[in-house]
Structures are given as structure tokens and as C-alpha cells.
Amino acid sequence: MKNSLIIFASDHGTVEKCAKELFLQMDGKVDLCNLYNRKINPDLSAYDTIIIGGSIRSGKIQDVIAEFCEANISKLIQKNIGLFINCIYSGEKALKQLEDAYPVSLNEIAIARDYFGGEIDNLKLNYLERMITKQMIEQENLIVKLSKDKIIRFAKKMSNLQ
């Protein structure tokens, strides 16, 4: 049976929500690992499939995700890989953010790779964060939403491996 690990980092809950939705949608044994809650990295040798997810702030994925990929790249390139981001841009800009978020060697081998959209909850943001996101949304006329369809498609791709 397939054995999958979803590794993620979430600042205000959107990535966590998407990781949990993937967990519900995927076949086989699936574990979740929130990198913000762990001191010791998970043992990757126990898994054949690894999904990595993070969110974008000022064009960049969280350091904890970038550092995890860099530190484990030799093990990760031997796995079935899925990569996702949460962000509020869509189209070309979101694709560029997705490309920049992960190492080239993982982007090249990823079986599923997508952006799932984003959320802005002003109650969870500080003043500066509210100003930054308000400006982004107004300047680009962004429609801020999550795509459950994309998560379902991603989960199907990752589930249909063997």
C-alpha cells in the first residue's frame, strides 16, 4: 500500500486547511507533519510519496520549507513528489511563485504541482500585514479564494501512482 507524508507550514491556517483536505482526499496511508510544530524532522525513509506545501509572503515560501527541501534534497529526489503553495495571486504570477518556491530538481520530478489559492483573514493579521495585502488585492483586482477542485485533482494525481 502507498505510504504518503504531507509536510507543510502554515502561518495563519490556510496551508493547514489544504493539507488536511489532501489528507482526506488521498488513498492509502497518509501522515501529516506541520514543520512549525516539530523539532525533529520526520523519517522520510518510511514514505514513498512526499507532498510539500507552504504559503507565499512577499514572493517567497516560508524559510522552514525552503530549508527542509535544501537539507533533504538527496532523499526527496528519490520519492514521488507533490508540491503546492497557497497564495492570493493566480495565473502567471502564481505559477512563477510556485516555480521559485521549490528547488529546480523537485519542480522537475513533481507528479502534481499547483497553487490552491489563498485566504486573507484580517482578524489574524497585524496592521502592516493588513496594509500589504490590501494594497496587493486592490492593485491587482485580486479575487481571494481557495480552490477545492484543484486540491481534489492534485490528490487524484498523487493517489493514482501505483
Ligand X SMILES: Cc1cc2nc3c(=O)[nH]c(=O)nc-3n(C[C@H](O)[C@H](O)[C@H](O)COP(=O)(O)O)c2cc1C
Three cell numbers written together for 27 = 488513498
Q: How far apart are CA 155 and CA 132, in angstroms?
A: 32
Q: How far is CA 90 from CA 11, 44, 118, in A?
A: 20, 31, 9
Q: Which is nearer to ligand X, 29 or 36 (CB)?
A: 36
12 touching ligand X, by CB under 6 A: yes
Q: How far is CA 48 from CA 2, 75, 82, 140, 162, in A?
A: 7, 10, 11, 40, 11
Q: How far apart are CA 91 and CA 102, in angstroms?
A: 18
Applying CB under 6 A, among 49, 80, 133, 159 the residue interacting with ligand X is 133
Q: Which is nearer to ligand X, 30 or 56 (CB)?
A: 56
96 touching ligand X, by CB under 6 A: no
Residues 15-74 that bind ligand X (CB under 6 A): 15, 55-59
* Nearest-approach distance from CB 20 to ligand X, in angstroms: 11
Chain positions contacting ligand X, by CB under 6 A: 10-15, 55-59, 86-89, 97, 118-120, 125, 129, 132-133
